[in-house]
A = this chain, B = another copy of it.
């Protein structure tokens, strides 16, 4: 059993999205992405089985699909197939926790 303090991985960069792998196992992978205000996590997908969740723990922006933008604020979550196009656009500095099962 392992405790992870997300407060310790709170770091933004004006250059690029910061990402920190919090956990990786055969069961799931958990990543913290810190997306600066205005930054884009581009829409992408992988042609494999599985799903992911994206939980906003700070800030706001939009969850992106192929042709959609869904408003996303702190405590909103998106669940999608890994094979479905998904992305995030940050309006403010925004922290998300992404859980991928099974891990990519």
Mark out the residues of chain A between 11 and 34 whose CB falls within 8 Å of any chain B CB in the assembled complex: 22-23, 25, 27-28, 30
Contact B55 A55 (CB under 8 A): yes
Contact B25 A51 (CB under 8 A): yes
Interface residue total, chain A, C-beta cutoff 8 A: 36
Mark out the residues of chain A between 44 and 102 whose CB falls within 8 Å of any chain B CB in the assembled complex: 49-51, 53, 55, 57, 63, 65, 70, 72, 75-81, 84, 86, 97, 99, 101-102
What are 17 A-B residue pairs whose CB atoms fall within 8 Å in the complex?
A1-B79, A1-B84, A2-B78, A2-B79, A3-B63, A4-B76, A6-B55, A6-B76, A6-B77, A7-B75, A23-B79, A25-B51, A27-B49, A27-B50, A28-B99, A28-B101, A77-B97
